[in-house]
Amino acid sequence: MPGGFTFLLEVFVPTLNWLGKDAVLNHHLDVPYRTLELKESFNCESGKSENKIIHGDNLEALKALLPEYEGRVKCIYIDPPYNTGEENWVYNDNVDSPKIRNWLGQVVGKEAEDLTRHDKWLCMMYPRLKLLQKLLSEDGAIFISIDDNEQANLKLMCDEIFGAGNFVSNLIWQKKFSPQNDSKWFSDNHDFIVCYAKKKYIWHPNLMERSLESDSRYKNPDNDPRGPWASTDLAVKSYTKEYDYPIITPSGRMVYPSKGRCWMTSKERMDQLIKDNRIWFGMSNDNVPRYKTFLNEVQKGIVPLSIWLYEDVGHNQSAKQELKEIFPEEHNPFDTPKPTRLIERILQIATDKNSIILDSFAGSGTTAHAVLNMNKQDGGNRKFILVEMEDYADSITAERVRRVIKGYKADKKIELYSKEMTVNDLKNASDFLEEIKCIREERREDFSSFKTEFENNTLKLYGVAKGDEEGTGGDFNFYELGPEMILDGNLNEHQSVEKIRSYIYYTETGTPIDKENVKESKHEFFLGDFDNTAYYLFYKKKEITTLDFDFLSTIQIPSERYVIYADNCVLPKDFLFEHNITFKKIPRDVRKF
């Protein structure tokens, strides 16, 4: 059992307890800061891409991203292991994976041996979600794929980390199209996508493009010159006495709102609306009145629904098929990909053309694929950051992105025949198969092969042709996790001075170093200005540095306050105080975060 419920009276929000929670509550602060080591730049000059694929445990990778990305990521999508307990997967979905077990052993200690599957999963997720929350921008949102194994636990944990008030929705994604008749209880055909905003009062989903189907609800039976319209109920539930009056139809009938309801507006305003032909009494002019909403007056898009059907965003099988097209040489490139269209839907709702998108459980790299597709479609400049722990980070995750960027040859399936079958039809199946045989014969020249499939009670014939999938363009940098910044309490001398400078500046200001500002200052040890304070790191590898009057005389740019790091300081205390100078001793005062 993963702990139980505690009711915190102070905040009136139930919180989840589980074994090992105490050990991980602040663990994100103990995770060592490691730098990112560039290994490859694909389709761009070395290091010049703004897209990143990182091979490594996301706990350390997320920490490594903080100095550059804290508060800047507009949209996070993660698809963590669902904790199904299934074994023998390409990656191990059970948190018993040796890497995670090792991590739990170190963090939770001996107690880790007694943890249940759920406790372990929660211990694994908690510090990662803490770091993800820091990375989100004020107007950002996180979307988390999950199923019933952990959905309820995840929801309570996220309430604690993101704030219950920032919960947006528990979206339903129809992941399968055919029922599983051997299921013991229900044939499970949906996943959840739990969505939280960093600040719900700031975050709003983008509207979805109006479809032909939604527009087709608008008609023009009275040839209104303002164009097609749809009618809605004129009566409302929130009762106001002044809005409760009879309306006389053109046919002369008196109509009242139904019991407990009233009309949506006052008598005077209603008379104006009737005069303006905005109230519809039906073709007979005798019906209960309804309000006309014109297509050209409705918002340019539709508010996204909370149930996402596979017809619109794909399903598990289509995701596998899509990946197989990119890796035709592999029998089963990756077990649990998500459909690109599913992630594209999230990007439509939660990003703009310049957003940064992060996926720290990247798997086969669907999120990068979706970002590249979207940029190609609308000329955007969205940036992606992916993290994948397993060794296929290069051979599957990055390789998919390389192929998508450059284009690849894919087997394209074109539907040639589709027949929804009733039970009676099934009795005559041989007739339909004969029809299919004829079509295959006729189209033999056009396709390299054919596929007959029976899905969703529908018999289908596809022609398969080799086609070129045009590249999306784009680029990325591939990184491995580098050495720790602080080793045995000292600044790690194997780190470049540039990375040490960035680290110190971030620990002081919580913002990334501004390289232009530093260049302009022309001072070798200047880190930057922040909040009327000038920061200096007087650091030399293998040399002891001393803050003295000689060093001070090199500072030309005046500031209200100064923070200066050095190995030693020989300036008198009252002098430092008088000139608003704070001396910070290396390594004693170097902070971890």
Q: Which residues bind ligand SAM (CB under 6 A)?
A: 57-58, 79, 81, 91, 334, 336-338, 361, 363-364, 366, 387-390
**CA separation for the pair 534, 564 (Å, rounded):** 8
- Cβ 79 to ligand SAM shortest distance, Å: 3
Q: Rounded to whole angstroms, how far apart are CA atoms 87 and 337?
A: 17
Kindly tell me which of 337 and 528 has the beta carbon lying closer to ligand SAM: 337
Sign of the C-alpha dihedral computed for residues 154, 195, 139 and 398 taken in this order: positive
Regarding beta strands 262-263 and 235-236, do their DSSP bridges make them parallel or antiparallel, or are they unpaired? antiparallel
Give the SS3 label for residue 265. Answer: coil
Q: Quick check: helix, strand or coil at residue 248?
A: strand
Smallest distance, Å, CB 461 to ligand SAM? Answer: 29
Q: Which two tokens stand for residue 321?
A: 């098929």
Q: CA–CA separation, 314 vs 274, rounded Å?
A: 45
Distance in angstroms (rounded) separating the CA atoms of residues 247 and 244 = 10
Cβ of residue 526: shortest distance to ligand SAM, in angstroms?
36
**385 three-class SS:** strand
The nearer residue to ligand SAM, 234 or 386, going by C-beta atoms, is 386
CB of 130 vs ligand SAM, minimal distance in Å = 14
Closest separation in Å from C-beta 358 to ligand SAM: 12
CB of 392 to ligand SAM, least distance (A): 7
Q: Are 394 and 478 in contact (CB under 8 A)?
A: yes
Closest CB to ligand SAM among residues 84, 511: 84
CB 449 within 8 A of CB 509: no
Strands of 421-475 (E only): list them. 449-455, 458-470
Nearer to ligand SAM, 20 or 289 (CB): 20
Closer Cβ to ligand SAM, 121 or 196, answer by number:
121
Nearer to ligand SAM, 270 or 319 (CB): 319
- Where on the phi/psi map is residue 56: left (φ > 0), alpha (ψ -120 to 50), or beta? left
Q: 100 vs 547, which CB is nearer to ligand SAM?
A: 100
| Sheet of 561-566, strand order | 526-530, 533-537, 561-566, 581-585
CB-based closest residue to ligand SAM: 363
Minimum distance, C-beta of residue 406 to ligand SAM, in the bound complex (Å) = 20
The DSSP annotation for 99-141 comes to: HHHHHHHHHHGGGGGG--HHHHHHHHHHHHHHHHHHHEEEEEE
Distance of closest approach, residue 413 Cβ to ligand SAM, in angstroms: 20
Rounded distance, CA 204 to CA 192, Å? 20
The span from the CA of 428 to the CA of 448, in Å, is 29
User: Looking at beta carbons only, is 363 or 474 nearer to ligand SAM?
Assistant: 363
Residue 480 beta carbon to ligand SAM: minimum distance, rounded to whole angstroms: 13
User: Nearer to ligand SAM by C-beta: 478 or 551?
Assistant: 478
5 secondary structure, DSSP code: E
Q: Is 386 helix (H, G, I), strand (E, B) or coil?
A: strand
